[in-house]
Amino acid sequence: STWTEARSYCRAKHTDLVTVHSQEEAQQIQYQTNSPTLTTWTGLYYDSENWQWSNGDLVSYTNWSAGINRVQFCAKVDEKGSWIQSVCDDEYPFMCYNVTSNITERYTLIKTQKTWTEAQKYCKVHHTDLISVKSDSENEDIVKKAQGSPFWIGLFNEPWNWADGGNSTFRNWDSGYPSNYGVNSNCTVIYGKTQGKWRNYPCRTTFPFICYGGKYLCPVWALF
């Protein structure tokens, strides 16, 4: 299918064309294709000013295989997980995703208040890890999950990195944050009452927390 046909199909049947916010997600996509040679469309396109995802997410991670140009305006991913520009009217297989069908499996809110370190240990034992946040839409999802409660996420300051080793550069700090207020304010809380903005707190403070339950893409092959 062409890129436009692929996007139309995904939006009608699922959610949108697949987005890639980390190397881990790129690897998952390659695993789901189950092919060492298959190249597929992604939701990345050039809108005359910037590269952006078709679902509106920010482009916080890139993995271009070569220099980009302004002639080919859609992006595909090859068997190595590298991104390649292509003419949007070219035809390739594609992958849709549906993030709304299994939100409860992706995130687990633990209402028991723990320090950041205790929260991370709990997540690693019972789930996967403290959640990392890769986009505005994901931030909105987990704020809804918390139902107004402040909660720990996996971002900590050494310098600012994710506990699960992810390389997402997405940040949503509240005004004036991160701040140096308090001793060892090196761990991150999301506040629902501040529209999901992030604040740094001493890691020994106790809050509820959200664990990441595993891979959240629900891929669907659609070949025309």
Q: Reduced to 3 states, what is the DSSP secondary structure of residue 11?
A: helix
Q: Could you give the CA distance from residue 155 to residue 190 in angstroms, rounded to a whole number? A: 10
Cα 21 from Cα 42, distance rounded (Å): 12
Residue (of 49, 75, 72) closest to 61 by Cα position: 75
Q: What is the pLDDT of residues 33-64, one digit of tens each?
A: 666 667 889 999 998 788 999 988 888 888 89
β strands within the chain, DSSP E: 16-17, 40-46, 51-53, 74-77, 83-86, 95-97, 107-114, 129-130, 151-157, 160-162, 187-191, 197-201, 207-212, 220-221
Could you tell me the domains of the chain?
3-97 (3.10.100.10), 103-212 (3.10.100.10)
Over 70: is that where the pLDDT of 131 sits? yes
Residue 122 scores a pLDDT above 70: yes
Torsion of CA 131, 143, 179, 133, to 10 degrees: 30
Q: Confidence band (pLDDT; 50, 70, 90) for 115?
A: very high
pLDDT of residue 188: 97
Please report the pLDDT score of residue 165 as a whole number.
Answer: 83
Please count the CA atoms within 13 angstroms of the CA of 150 that sit on its side-chain side.
Answer: 18
pLDDT of residue 113: 96
pLDDT at 105: 56
Residue 220 has pLDDT above 80, yes or no: no
Backbone angles phi, psi at 13, to 5 degrees: -100, -25
**In whole angstroms, what is the distance from residue 38 CA to residue 45 CA?**
20
Q: Supply the DSSP symbol for 85.
A: E
Give 158-182 pLDDT, tens digit per residue. 789 999 887 788 999 999 999 877 6
pLDDT confidence bin for 156, thresholds 50/70/90? very high
pLDDT digits (tens, 9 = 90+) for 65-106: 877 666 679 999 887 888 999 999 999 988 887 654 444 457
| pLDDT (0 to 100) of residue 221 | 43
Whether residue 137 has pLDDT greater than 70: yes
Closest CA to 168 of 135, 140, 143: 135
Cis check: omega of the bond before 93, within 30 degrees of 0: no
DSSP string, 109-138: EEEEEE-HHHHHHHHHHHSSEE----SHHH
